[in-house]
Amino acid sequence: MLAVATCVALLGCLQAQKLQGHVSVILLGATGDLARKYLWQGLFQLYLDEAGQGHSFSFHGAALTATKQGQEVMAKVLESLSCPEDVAPSRCAELKDQFRRLSQYRQLKTSEDYVALSEGVEALVQQEGRREAGRLFYFSVPPFAYADIARNINSSCRPGPGAWLRVVLEKPFGHDHLSAQQLATELGSFFQEEEMYRVDHYLGKQAVAQILPFRDQNRKALDGLWNRHHVERVEIVMKETVDAEGRTSFYEEYGVIRDVLQNHLTEVLTLVAMELPYNASSAEAVLQHKLQAFRALRGLRRASAVLGQYRAYGAQVRRELRAGHSPQGRDVPRQWGAQRTGSERRADRQGGRTGKARGLGGPRRSALGRHLCCPPVASGILVHMDNLRWEGVPFILMSGKALDERVGYVRILFKNRAFCAQSEKDWVTAQSPCLPQQIIFYIGHGELGTPAVLVSRSLFKPTLPSRSWKEVEGRPGLRLFGRPLSDYYAYSPVRERDAYSILISHIFHGRKDSFVTTENLLASWVFWTPLLDSLAREVPRLYPGGAENGHLLDFEFAGGQLAFCQQQVEQLVLGPGSAPMPSDFQVLRATYRESPLVAAWPEELIAKLASDIEATAVQAVRRFGQFHLALSGGSSPIVLFQQLATGHYGFPWAHTHLWLVDERCVPLWDPESNFQGLQTHLLQHVRVPYYNVHPMPVHLHQRLCAEQDRGAQAYAEQISALVTNSSFDLVLLGMGPDGHTASLFPQSPAGLDGEQLVVLTESPSKPYHRMSLSLPLINRARKVVVLVMGRLKRDITMLVSRVGHEPKKWPISGVLPGSGQLVWYMDYEAFLG
């Protein structure tokens, strides 16, 4: 009896395993470009993989297109589906026929349509006599349609208890941090985080998907190599030979940085740079470590980027505007925007070309969206990580259209410290320590023509899963990255698979690590948005396109900055009434309040000031053995700190003492703290001995700036003990809109005269309590620099230029070193308005 009961139980388990429930797949935008090219084929592959595994399926194509027209388009798409090479033609025809019978088209336009869809799914499940396993909605539609669709799904189309809901979203996910946050909040009001799958199709490409498994399976070999001590640089590249024709309206709104670098290449960067979790197969651990990598990215500046645009782009834009093209291609399928007529879209675009510019090339607002003044279609970006593993290692991201080849790859180039006494002809083939050492994840196309993982033979022999990756057969004459293919251990997939097929399978199985979470999405936009804003009105370099580009787009990096290797041959000729660009002006030398003045555009000004501070430091160390530098807080010095941190490797930091000019009475770890700003933007990037860093003692005995704690007197005593004659080598000041400097404010006598070196003061704005060097101490310095930046400083700049010595009204007017030098550094907006 026991044996019979066991058999019955086993049979029941097997039947339950076979009948795992019904899955409904609803493809929204089913007649659009992305669906026709990739998604239906991916869904067919899902059916091939999962048929017979226990689930039953139904596939619903949905769009705004009328039913008859939609059915005709869908029939053509289903007819064009293909099977893997190892499937016999007769079997393929049978499978396609099965898939066709399971697929149907329906128009989804009104809330009633969604109710009807849900009722149809429920009826089908009931008819099969199964339970419902889940519903998968794939949004192959433009983001402006997300909210209405999400609302209808949430109210009318959710599956019943016990069944899952998965909602798949396609980029673009916003155009900056604010818009991405708004979209995420809107979607979050309808769906849970675990229900949303944001697709970045690059994460489905086989070489990219292999990065983490490769790192995990080769931990022993890579543990000592995957860091700043051994990696010279990392290159992440996606080049295309095609131009933007047919997609110029999309590029007018987004440009290449938003289209490729902010998402595809940044996702790849995190896979290379993230700390490898102990359990690399844990989706939760992978996503958390990726988020940590996002947060370790050092902020970008305008000098972090170079931009390009092929010459024919402008003419293409004009042609497509006249033809009334809407944004097409993968990013904005046309069907879900069909309710807007071509004339409406043209009117929107034309109206949008007169709005106020902001962001990358100045997005112009219109009913349709944003347009860029000079959208780049090629760009190179220099990225650094602020962590111990990758400190100082450049990550180069590059993408563009109308380039010389179509190729994508991730290249990790290792430092080579070997010197070979023998000539190259006597080196052992592929094994000499003097050969370049690199690991390459070859995403596709190019000379090799297939995804691959390449490892220099002089490094180590890698381990890859033998069931899915095979060694590449020798191809005499083929050279990759300067070396013959025989120099590498080279592996390619046993069976090439489309990225969307892989990702759709992962969605079905609930694998979240191949998708972009809300947290990671917003972290990426936090990183990219400041750069995009700083590139406002930046004019890209023009290039002819294709092989004719020559070396015109080659760029080099030094000191945290990128620059093209070749000077542009053509010069900009300004037409009548054209406004001059920042590059038309050079550094201006003049006087202000009878002291030297240096005026320039912000980037040139900061570069000049940083160089002058370094020169002063080198001279002081040469003469006295040390350099005492007092720095103000606030927003203006931040770019200076970043410049000093990343672009001045000759700075004598080991002999530099850093002091604060003023401090807010908050704990030193508080974001409002001047010391915290100094730590974030300078100290953590340079090697100053910790005993040479002198924060102001504003937080003593668990109190802030209490008179009885004598913090000001303690700081004054420290200065007197360490700084000869209490004369700093250089003091950096700013100037507030009310004429204050340091934390010395108008109508407040503290610190404007007298014997005290350091004083407690009151600010008119929060936080009110401050500690500051006094004016007499500042005026003992050998050199005082005043940095003034921004249009908001124009009025006070004009006023102070006319007043005399009146520190009680305008404390900045009291700055005049007794035996030292005063130099003013102003950008053109502060100086000229």
Contact between 203 and 514 (Cβ < 8 Å): yes
Contact between 65 and 73 (Cβ < 8 Å): yes
3-state DSSP assignment of residue 733: strand
**Residue of 201, 264, 657, 769 marked active site:** 264
Residue that the structure tokens 């983001």 belong to: 143
Tokens representing 523 are 């972290």
Active site residue 264: yes
DSSP E strands, 605-756: 627-631, 656-660, 662-664, 693-694, 699-700, 703-704, 730-734
Distance CA 81, CA 98 (A): 12
CA-nearest of 54, 192, 24 to 119 is: 24
Distance CA 93, CA 406 (A): 34
Distance CA 136, CA 159 (A): 10
| Count of C-beta atoms within a 10 Å radius of residue 779 | 18
Distance CA 801, CA 830 (A): 12
Tokens representing 146 are 């997300």
Q: Measure CA 756 to chain center.
A: 48
What sections of 337-482 are H helices per DSSP?
342-352
Contact between 28 and 137 (Cβ < 8 Å): yes
First to last CA, the chain: 96
567 Cβ contact list (under 8 Å, min separation 6)? none
Cα distances from 12 to residues 1, 8, 15, 16, 27, in angstroms, run 16, 6, 5, 6, 34
Distance CA 771, CA 300 (A): 32
Q: What are phi and psi of 320, to 5 degrees?
A: -75, -30
Query: What's the sign of the alpha-carbon dihedral 764, 766, 770, 773?
Result: negative
Tokens representing 425 are 């002809």
Q: Are strands 595-600 and 588-592 parallel, antiparallel or unpaired?
A: antiparallel
The catalytic residues are 264
